[in-house]
Structure 1
Amino acid sequence: MTSSARPLTDLDYCSGSRILEMNKLMEELERREGSYLQSKEVLESCLKAKDYVFTLIEQIHPLPSPNSLLILSGALCSGCLDVSPVDLGSTSPLSCPPISYTILVPILRLPSPDLLHQTSPCHCLVPLSLWDPPHPQLSSTTSYVNPHNVSLWFTSSLLSAMSRLPAPDPHLCQEGAEPWGNCVSLLFSNSSDVFFRFDIVPVVEVHGWPTGAQYLEDWVDDVQGPPRLFHLLPWGAKGQWRVSFPGVELFLRRCLYPSLSRVLRASLAVLGPFLQGPEAPGPYLIWVTLLHACERLPVGYLSQAQNAASCFLGLLEELSFNFLRGSCPNPFLPGCDLLYGNTTGPYLAHRVAEVRTQPMTHLREAVKEAKEAMKGGEREEKEEKEQKEEREERGSSCSPS
């Protein structure tokens, strides 16, 4: 007697994609991207480049002391920080390799948010009197510290320090240093032509929480959690600074279930390129939408690895809906909408819907790009090794007498 066919319960209704196969592609993407830093040479070059950038920053005066820095994995517009291309005024002046970081440098540390003038839930003005003694290059027509003036001083100081310091290492090349918006981008490469990028942002660090903030105390732990502080980023209209919580968010990313980390990585790989366009809001929206999902979905669902693909599809659907309605509330700041005033919503909703109808195609393309990036590094490393062995053989060979 012939048994009945097994029902297909792992198919996505909208695209016909197999959930199991989608999960495997997301796992492969995570594995490919995660192994990019596995090479000993790449890791050593990366650490040398970081040390050199830290040395550069130490040359800038005056900066608060001790000068602890917050380093985020990913370039400035990779979704690790609340920033859009509009905030920076132009596309990136340097290429953006897979190995990139954003470094937040406090130019001012404040003990309380009460010292600020909060103009909206997501913007603040910083009184010039808080910079004591006042810096001559930060003169302003108003009584507030202007982010653009800070950028001019910070950029010139950093580039001047770079011209004075010797090269970081014989095997590490300085490929470029360019101002970008109110920050600076530095690009390095090693002898195997692996590139490392650092986006350096001058910020104001404030202890405590801004007025109206919510949910932050739920994540803070005096022993293991992030400190109670927030940062002001140097972009906003009319001399204002943007309220941001990168320290708390860095902690949250590290606490994500592996399945959700996989969803975030896949979403950034697939959607990131067109969310970084000239009028686009930036891929930070992906992270915020994922946080909203964590608020309403049970832990038992989010923590299951087999649910990663379903979460990925749901994230695409919610992003498309957000773009259509032109709204994506900040999870920590009621009244702060990340899509307020953005006019590209319908276009972006259409682009996300295209990905939703063919998720497998876009995931395969992301895996292919990750493979090519890895193969390029491996090929260059293998060629260099073969050339070295060939030189050694020639040096040790004996000529006939």
Structure 2
Amino acid sequence: MTFRCLYRCIKLITPYSDSSPAPQNEIASPDSAIPELQAQPAVDLPTESTNEPEAPQEHPFDYDPDYDKLVLTRGQDFDLDYTLLVPVMRANERQQLDLKGCEPGESTVPIDMMNDPDNHRLWQDSLISEPSGQQRLSALRVWNWFLKCLDHITQEARIEEKKGKPKILLAVPAGCPKRAFTLILMAGGTRILYDLVPCISFRGWPQVAAPWLQETGKFWQRAGLRHSDAAGAFHLLPGRGRNSTDWRFCFARSEVQLKKLVPQPFMKVFYCWRTVLARALSRQKTVLRPYALRAIFFWACDRVQNQYLSREDEIPSFFCGLIDDVLKCLLTRSCPSYFLPHVNLLDKTDDATILSLAQIILMVRSDPVEQIRNALEQVSAARGLTQVHNEQSYGKKRVVSGIDSTGQALYSHVRVNDPAVEESQESLADRVKKMVQQNKGSSISVFINPNDVTRAHFRVDEKFT
């Protein structure tokens, strides 16, 4: 049911490809979604003339507020989390990109009426005209239109909430990352967090990333992956706010293909390493973002042979090696993007932030075992909170008094007059005495699970009771 709801969301925010009018309850395209954007009747101006030029009318989708950053905790606020790229436009095969005047890793999207009349018509209100006469798609206007669409959809979904359908717990702009919309749905007691990001979908591979395909010695080349599979598509996401027309490159589809080729032991280390750093760098997420950590991980895959990365006995070395790679990036102030090596992901980081990050990484490196243990305890506690939420969602008559160090929920009591309560409150000595009296001459064994010492299991002859 969750994915059906998301499919409806994606379907509603995708512009119509025909010229038929949109139903009143659906949002078809940017120009039909916002009534204020329609042309207004001309107004008679006073005959008196002035020499002052007219101020350009501000577009309703040109505002760029700073949204509050959400602080959400796994277990407390959600159980699972995903990032979904929502294609709001599929680029024409002849679509050209213009990198002139953009920051590294970003591009503008010119929309020409002759080469791409369909997208030009649908997104006409989100285009910005340049002095040269060229029109570019505004990432800021597309983002604000995307927010308005999602707000409309979530409001409708809340009005039409029915039993058995996913329930919307939260639907707000994320704030960090800046161009993401956070949606938390609850289906069957499970709370799933989705970060929805609008994107432009492209087939093929951009010219700016062509050197990545031409290099040799890549781990995916050694594994036999074809170029068409490694570089079959890419996306453009809204930029981070420097220019309203800037879009940034995203190679998420290629990352999924590459991860399938990483040996399992090294992949396990990656997840552990990412969890430890996410906990240690919880206040510095905007600098060493997950994208930067994935770039460091893929560079390590290229540097080391696949046979070595498959060795289970080298897992501790893998973990410490990745920590050292992060420290090296900070000390050299160089973290190249994997697909765009000329883009330095730490280029605009100030000295104070670099020093603070290096101190945190050195702390992790000094005692990695303790850091892993703390991360595991945090994961266990999150699972315990999820268990508590599920118990309450399913209406079980048990009161949770807390969470122990292993993440298990501690229950203070259950329903009154429950036979299970009386049995659990009965002392172990009394139970053994009763078992001996009822099974004279039989062999009685007791088994205590080390993970649950609160309950003992008895066996008479070869049957557990």
- TM-score w.r.t. structure 1 length? 0.72
The correspondence of residues 390-401 of structure 1 with structure 2, limited to 5 A, is: none
1:225 counterpart = 2:229: yes
Is 1:363 aligned to 2:372, yes or no? yes
Report what 2:139 is aligned to: 147
Q: 1:64 to 1:200 in 2, by over 3 A?
A: farther
> For the structure 1 residues 92 and 168, does the alpha-carbon distance in structure 2 shift closer, same or farther, using more than 3 Å as the test?
farther
CA RMSD, Structure 1 to Structure 2 (Å): 3.2
Residue 319 of structure 2 aligns to a residue whose secondary structure is helix
Change (3 A) 1:381 1:178: closer
- Aligned partner of residue 128 in structure 2, secondary structure: coil
The 8 Å contact of residues 121 and 212 in structure 1, kept in 2 or not, is answered as no
Q: Residues 103 and 198 of structure 1 are in contact (CA less than 8 Å); yes or no, is this contact kept in structure 2?
A: yes
1:387 equivalenced with 2:397 (yes/no): yes
CA 375–64 in structure 1, closer or farther in 2 if over 3 Å, else same = farther
Q: 1:330 to 1:224 in 2, by over 3 A?
A: closer
Q: 82, 95, 98: which one pairs with 2:72?
A: 95
1:104 has 2:85 as partner: yes
Aligned to 2:271: 265
Residue 244 (str. 1) matches residue 227 (str. 2): no
Task: Quote the offset at 1:55 in angstroms.
Answer: 1.2
Matched AA of 1:179: P
Distance across 2 between alignment mates of 1:114 and 1:62? 18
Closer, same or farther: CA 89–341 of 1 in aligned 2, 3 Å = farther
In structure 2, relative to structure 1, the CA distance for the partners of 1:278 and 1:260 (3 Å cut) is closer
Find the partner of 2:110 among 127, 131, 148: 127
| Distance across 2 between alignment mates of 1:151 and 1:127 | 17
Kindly provide the amino acid, as one letter, of the partner of residue 233 in structure 1: L
Contact 1:172–1:189 at 8 Å: present in 2 too? yes
How many residues align? The count is 323
Matches of residues 265-284 of structure 1 in structure 2 within 5 Å? 265-273=271-279, 274=281, 277=284, 279-284=286-291
* In structure 2, C-alpha distance between the alignment counterparts of 1:133 and 1:140, rounded to whole Å: 14
- Code of the residue aligned with 2:199 in structure 1: it is V
In 1, distance between residues paired with 2:311 and 2:379?
25
Q: Distance in 2 between matches of 1:96 and 1:379?
A: 14
1:256 has 2:237 as partner: no
Q: In 1, distance between residues paired with 2:197 and 2:145?
A: 12
- What letter matches 2:238 in structure 1? P
Aligned pairs for 1:204-223 within 5 A: 204-213=200-209, 214-216=211-213, 219=220
Task: Please list the CA deviations of residues 268-326 of structure 1 after superposition, one character each: whole Å capped at 9, or x if unmatched.
Answer: 11111416636523132221111111111111211112212211101101101111221
Whole-angstrom CA distance in 1 between matches of 2:65 and 2:304: 34
Give 1:203 deviation, angstroms.
Answer: 0.6
Residue of structure 2 in register with 1:314 after alignment: 321
Q: CA deviation at 1:357?
A: 0.2
User: Residues 93, 375 of structure 1: CA spacing in aligned structure 2 closer, same or farther, 3 A cutoff?
Assistant: closer
**Which gives a bigger RCO, structure 1 or 2 (Cα 8 Å, sep 6+)?**
1
Could you list the per-position Cα deviations for residues 346-366 of structure 1 after superposition, in whole angstroms to 9, with x for gaps in the alignment? 211111110000111110011
Given that residues 171 and 190 in structure 1 are in contact (C-alpha distance below 8 angstroms), is that contact kept between their aligned partners in structure 2?
A: yes
CA contact (8 A) 1:325 1:345 kept: no
Q: How high is the sequence identity, in percent, across the aligned residues?
A: 23
Distance 1:277 1:212 in 2: 29
In structure 2, distance between residues paired with 1:327 and 1:269? 22
Q: Could you say if the C-alpha distance between residues 64 and 295 of structure 1 is closer, same or farther in structure 2, counting changes exceeding 3 Å?
A: farther
Residue 54 of structure 1, CA deviation: 1.9
Q: Work out whether residues 263 and 310 of structure 2, in 8 Å CA contact, stay in contact via their aligned partners in 1.
A: yes
Give the corresponding residue for 1:156.
148
**Which shows bigger deviation, 270-279 or 156-165?**
270-279
Which residue of the partner structure matches residue 10 of structure 1? Answer: none
Indicate how the Cα distance of structure 1 residues 251 and 92 shifts in structure 2: closer, same or farther if over 3 A, else same. farther
Question: Following the alignment from structure 1 to structure 2, what is the Cα–Cα distance between the partners of residues 296 and 246?
Answer: 21
* Alignment match, 2:384: 375
Determine if contact 1:179/1:185 at 8 Å carries over to the other structure: yes
Does 2:199 correspond to 1:203? yes
Structure 2 equivalent of residue 305 of structure 1? 312
2:181 to 174, 184, 197: 184
| TM superposition shift of 1:100 | 0.6
Report if aligned partners of 1:205, 1:232 keep a CA contact under 8 Å in 2: yes
CA deviations 1:164-198 (Å, max 9, x no partner) are 23237547431111123323111123564x42111
List gaps (5 residues or longer) in structure 1: 1-47, 66-86, 394-401
Match of 1:25 in 2: none
- Greater C-alpha Rg: 2
Give the deviation of 1:128 after TM superposition.
Answer: 3.5
